[in-house]
């Protein structure tokens, strides 16, 4: 689907606005999901070491006829691999597991501020980028103070900050902080575990447009201007998630969706999350 919009990163590379994530997809299922998604038109595939399916993600990529340079593949350095040397080892291990010579985007998965290693981890990502092992580098779940410290101490601004965003947790202040620093926002758990599917504004927008509540929410994400990576294991759902480019939500609908915010997280708070 060549008409998926592209977002230009602060390093000049372009990120598809809509893709798939492979979190919580088991190893045996992942290759088929990835290859089906690519066949349907997906070009952005978001993985991570901690998902436990990097090798399977790579197998799915190899099953597709699409040239490597036309795909945008992401992985992430996990908390236990923070630190300069450990991060370098983690990057090599991820490349080997996925079976790629380079990643399009590599993120630090969580800041883990109590460990106080995210700056040296960031330096390892900068070096990996300079060595051609990674094209773009960024972070996930970083708050403004974490971002500012990276920038102040290394002079390198993340290209992406992947954060939780869904109708009940809209993270507007952090999205604005990313925008102010020239960082593209990418949304994880974009459907919010389905907790807003029955909201009247979403039901009404779905009825007006002939779309599903899921499609309405994904369209809301696109109109907010960030990248979004929904997960599905079924081909019909993968196709439906892509079928959101032929309609728009009105300004009134967008405002009503904004009013659904309840600051209700699905995931952990980045300030406290330190899991190995």
Residues 126-139 as b or e (16 or more Cβ within 10 Å = b): bbbbeeebbbbbbb
Query: Could you give the angle at the alpha carbon of 228 between the alpha carbons of 22 and 99, nearest 5°?
Result: 35
Active-site residue flag, 118: no
d(CA 84, CA 170): 33
| C-alpha to C-alpha distance for 183 and 186, rounded to whole angstroms | 10
Nearest-angstrom CA–CA distance, 222 and 216: 10
**Which one of the listed residues 13, 51, 102, 118 is annotated catalytic?**
51
- State the sign of the Cα–Cα–Cα–Cα dihedral 268, 163, 103, 63: positive
Active site positions, annotated: 51
């Amino acid at each position: 689907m060549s008409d998926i919009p592209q977002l230009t990163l602060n390093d000049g590379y372009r990120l598809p606005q809509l893709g798939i994530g492979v979190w919580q997809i088991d190893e045996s299922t992942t290759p088929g999901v990835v290859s089906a998604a690519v066949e349907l038109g997906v070009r952005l595939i978001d993985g991570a070491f901690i998902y436990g399916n990097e090798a399977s993600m790579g197998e799915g990529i190899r099953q597709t006829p699409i040239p490597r340079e036309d795909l945008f593949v992401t992985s992430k350095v996990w908390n236990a691999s923070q630190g300069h040397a450990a991060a370098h080892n983690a990057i090599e291990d991820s490349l080997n597991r996925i079976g790629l010579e380079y990643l399009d985007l590599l993120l630090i998965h969580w800041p883990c501020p109590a460990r106080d290693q995210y700056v040296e981890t960031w330096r390892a990502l900068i070096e990996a980028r300079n060595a051609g092992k990674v094209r773009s580098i960024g972070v996930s779940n970083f708050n403004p103070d974490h971002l500012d410290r990276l920038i102040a101490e290394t002079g390198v601004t993340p290209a992406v900050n992947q954060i939780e965003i869904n109708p009940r947790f809209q993270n507007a202040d952090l999205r604005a902080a990313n925008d102010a620093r020239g960082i593209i926002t990418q949304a994880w758990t974009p459907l919010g575990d389905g907790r807003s599917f029955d909201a009247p504004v979403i039901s009404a927008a779905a009825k007006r447009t002939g779309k599903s509540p899921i499609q309405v929410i994904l369209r809301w994400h696109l109109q907010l201007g960030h990248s979004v990576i929904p997960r599905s294991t079924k081909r019909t759902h993968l196709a439906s998630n892509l079928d959101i480019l032929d309609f728009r939500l009105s300004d009134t609908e967008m405002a009503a969706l904004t009013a659904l915010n309840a600051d209700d997280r699905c995931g952990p708070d980045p300030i406290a999350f330190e899991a190995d």
